[in-house]
Amino acid sequence: MNALGITLTLVVFYLFSELHARKRAFYTNPVLLSIITIALILKWFGIPYGSYMDSAVILKFLLGPAVVSLAVPVYRGRGTIKAYAKEIVVGIVVGGTTAILTAFYMAKALGGSERVLLSIAPKSVTTAIAIGISGKIGGIPALTAVLVITTGLLGNAFAPELLSLFKVKDRIARGLATGVSSHGLGTARIILEDELAGAVSGLAMALNGVFTALILPYLIEVLK
């Protein structure tokens, strides 16, 4: 099997992780820089994206176990999470609805077509769920996938800094805000800084996916 994809991904990510460890800033975010660098390398050397993905398939496979492993910090923090169950549920309902409405109306204000509006509405849940929702409500699944990834990248790069800027210090609130707004990539960032916040973020990501899948098809009928 061609090892180009996995080797390139691991080497580039390792280098930028080391850079981020030495210079912690949003512009040294290893996920964002790795994506940009790998995209440029593929472009410069004329390497088809399909070939790259075929050779990095093991990393794609490991995404599943990585997501499931978020259950470990959730289990460890189950006592605290249970104590804040009501707040978490309210946060998911309010945050999930706000994410839909702000994306929808901002795109509408900028002159987005109806299909664009339907594509951007589910951008704050994980890609697999968002694509399914987008197809069901009449959006463009491919565009939704791009918007979901962009949302996650922004959360991974800026979420903790924005929360600190607005003086959000509560660990539950930080995790809840990150998970609801920027799903897996945001969770991957905040769990490195605080395991409890990461646990709440992972839980919020999952529950918000379910909530959005249930409510968005009906909410869109009201918004149209």
Considering the chain, what percentage of its residues have pLDDT values greater than 70?
Answer: 100
Residue 84, helix vs strand vs coil: coil
Question: Looking at residue 177, what is its pLDDT?
Answer: 95
Q: Which helix (H) or strand (E) element contains residue 111? A: none
Domain ranges in the chain? 4-68, 71-223
Question: What mean pLDDT value characterizes the chain?
Answer: 91
Q: Give the model's confidence band at 8: pLDDT under 50 very low, under 70 low, under 90 confident, else very high.
A: very high
Among candidate residues 173, 181, 131, the one with its CA nearest the CA of residue 152: 181
51: number of CA atoms within 13 Å, CB side? 10
Predicted confidence at residue 14, as pLDDT, reads 95
Distance CA 157, CA 143 (A): 21
User: What does the pLDDT average to over 144-167?
Assistant: 92
Nearest to 152 by CA among 175, 172, 124, 133: 124
Q: Does residue 208 surpass a pLDDT of 90? A: yes
Q: Which two tokens stand for residue 33?
A: 């820089």
pLDDT digits (tens, 9 = 90+) for 14-23: 999 999 889 8
pLDDT digits (tens, 9 = 90+) for 65-98: 887 888 888 899 899 999 999 999 999 999 999 9
SS3 129: helix
Task: Answer with the residue of higher pLDDT: 64 or 200.
Answer: 200
Distance CA 150, CA 89 (A): 26
pLDDT band at residue 1 under the 50/70/90 scheme: very low
Q: Average of pLDDT values for 7-19?
A: 93
At a CB cut-off of 8 Å and minimum separation 6, what does 168 contact? 174, 177
Among candidates 182, 122, 175, which has minimal Cα distance to 152?
182
pTM of the model: 0.84
224 HSE (CA, 13 A, CB side): 12
* pLDDT of res. 71: 85
For the stretch 105-123, pLDDT in tens is 999 999 999 999 999 999 9
**Average pLDDT of the segment spanning 119-143:** 93
Between 55 and 117, residue with greater pLDDT: 117
**Is pLDDT at 42 greater than 50 in this prediction?**
yes
Q: Are 9 and 59 in contact (CB under 8 A)?
A: yes
pLDDT of 217 higher than 70? yes
Percent over 90 (pLDDT), the chain: 67
Q: Are 203 and 81 in contact (CB under 8 A)?
A: yes
Provide the terminal-to-terminal Cα distance of the chain, rounded to the nearest Å: 49
